[in-house]
Structure 1
Amino acid sequence: MIVITAPTGNIGHQVLDRVLAAGRPVRVVARDPAKLPAGVRERAEVVQGSHGDAKVVARAFDGADAVFWLLPPDPRAASLDDAFEGFTRPAAEAMRRFGVKRVVDVSALGRDTPHAAKAGFVTASLAMDDLIAGTGVAFRALAASGFMDNVLRQVQPIKEQGLFFDVVSPDRGLRIVATRDIAAVAARLLLDETWTGREEIPLLGPEDLSYDDMAATISDVLGTPVRYRQIPAGALEERLAGRGMSAAMIQGMLDMMEAKENGLDDAIARTPQHAIDTPTSFRQWCEDVLKPAVQAL
């Protein structure tokens, strides 16, 4: 039995589709099962509730061989510990109690770098990994770089203003990966019963690009000029607060972005394997995902 958490999310639903296609028994944990496609509800066992709830994960992990663990965002959490380790602790206890054999999670780059101790969300994510690994399960942390799919959050200004924004320098080279590639690696691991031990798998995407590089690609694919504009950290803080994000989570975001600016993601040397594991180029992603989203507005 393979358990998939966050099955309606951007990554989780893609992992679920791949595992179901392989014909393996699947159990999903969903707050609102009505959000699952009817075909999924017919083919997968559904445990309703939050995977941060001890009773829910006890039901979900009983008899499970493998778990895909994906932390849901909690923008209003009082602390990073509450949002990451606190949420995960009941699941870690259930993994140990029910003898789960293998766990795959989505984490972040940056371990063993000088910046990891104060990298906000990344620091908290790495602590979550350690909590899971400490249960004794075989564990694979998918250490992902920035997501190409995050650009979708700015579809409206891209279409209406020809602009997108962030706090990172426009010429700062970044590792970016498509969520569909993360899902493909996760599903492959969940379906493979042979691996053991603990390992981080860096998912870098096939190329390093700056935001100026991305703007040029977006412009070319959309056939209209699009520019990147760097904004001050204070402006981002103001926007996040306006959306109801807690002070602790805002600081976690700002610390992560500062660490990335200072080289958090750069420690892993790129190899040909990274392009094999995460082959989707930013141009291809723009053609397949961003362009249809812009046209749909």
Structure 2
Amino acid sequence: MIVITAPTGNIGHQVLDHVLATDRPVRVIVRNPARLPSRVRDRVEVVPGSHGDPAVVDRAFAGAEAVFWLVPVDPAAESMEQAFAGFTGPAAAALRRHGVPRVVDVSALGRGTPYAERAGYVTGSLAMDDLLADTGVALRTLAAAGFLDNVLRQVGSIAGQGTLYDVVPPQRALPMVATRDIAAVAARLLLDDGWTGRQDVPLLGPENLSYADLAATAGDVLGRPVRYEQITTAALADQMLRYGRSAAMAQGLVEMMTAKVDGLDDAVVRTPRHVADTPTTFRQWCEDTLAPAVRAAA
């Protein structure tokens, strides 16, 4: 039995699709089962509720051979600890209680760097990884770079103003990865019964990209100018507060982006294996995902 958390989310639903392409039994934890497509509901065992709920994970992890763990970050959380390790605590207890052999979790790059202790969301993610590892499970941590798919949050400004915003200097190149590649690697690991121990799996994407690169490529694919405008970290924090994030979560986002600019994601050197694992280029992603979203928003 493979257990998948967050099966209606951006990564989780893609993991679920990959696993359902096999004959392995699947159990999902979902707050609102009605959000599952009917083709999925007929093929999985559904445990309704939050995977931060002790009773829910206790039921879901019974008899599990592998668990896909992804924390849906609470924008109102009062601390990084609450958002990540706090949410994961009941699951860690259930993993230990049921003797679940393997877990694949989604986390971030940066472990072992001097920036990791003050990197907001990443710091919280790394503490979550440690909590899971302490249960004794075999653990594969998907240490992901920034998501290409986060650009979708700015579809409105790209469609309406031709502008992409962030706090990163325009020429600072960073590794970036498509969520579809993260999901493919996660599913491959969930379906493989042969691994043991603890290991980070860096997911870097095929190339480093600057925000100037993102704007230029997006504009080329869309057939219209797109420019990048760097904003201040103070402006980012104010924007997050207006969107309803707690002070801690707004500050955590600022700390994460500052750490990335300083070098958080630079420690892992890309190899051909990294490219093979995460092959989706930004241009391909724009053609497949961004362009249809912009057309729909226009």
TM-score (norm 2): 0.99
- In the alignment, what sits opposite 1:116? 116
Letter matched to residue 199 of structure 1: Q
Quote the Cα distance in structure 2 between the aligned partners of 1:153 and 1:22. 32
Question: What is the 5 A alignment of 1:58-137?
Answer: 58-137=58-137
**Structure 2 gaps, min length 5:** none
Quote the Cα distance in structure 2 between the aligned partners of 1:138 and 1:41. 29
- In the alignment, what sits opposite 2:56? 56
Post-superposition offset of 1:63: 0.5
Quote the Cα distance in structure 1 between the aligned partners of 2:23 and 2:225. 45
- In the alignment, what sits opposite 2:233? 233
**Structure 1 gaps, min length 5:** none
- In the alignment, what sits opposite 1:246? 246
- In the alignment, what sits opposite 1:214? 214
Asked if the contact 2:120–2:256 (Cα under 8 Å) also holds between the matched residues in 1, the reply is yes
- Give secondary structure in 2 for the equivalent of 1:43: coil
Encode CA deviations 1:86-135: one digit per residue, 9 max, x unaligned: 00000000000001000000000000001011111101100000000000
| Alpha-carbon RMSD | 0.5
Encode CA deviations 1:135-158: one digit per residue, 9 max, x unaligned: 000000000000000000000110
Asked if the contact 2:80–2:123 (Cα under 8 Å) also holds between the matched residues in 1, the reply is no
- Give secondary structure in 2 for the equivalent of 1:289: helix
- Structure 1 vs Structure 2: percent identity of aligned residues? 68
Q: How many pairs were matched up?
A: 297
Quote the Cα distance in structure 2 between the aligned partners of 1:189 and 1:179. 15
Quote the Cα distance in structure 1 between the aligned partners of 2:158 and 2:78. 32
Letter matched to residue 212 of structure 2: D
Q: Does 1:177 align with 2:198?
A: no
Asked if the contact 2:73–2:84 (Cα under 8 Å) also holds between the matched residues in 1, the reply is no
Encode CA deviations 1:40-92: one digit per residue, 9 max, x unaligned: 11000000000000000000000100000000020000111111000000000
- Give secondary structure in 1 for the equivalent of 2:55: helix
- In the alignment, what sits opposite 1:22? 22
Post-superposition offset of 1:284: 0.3
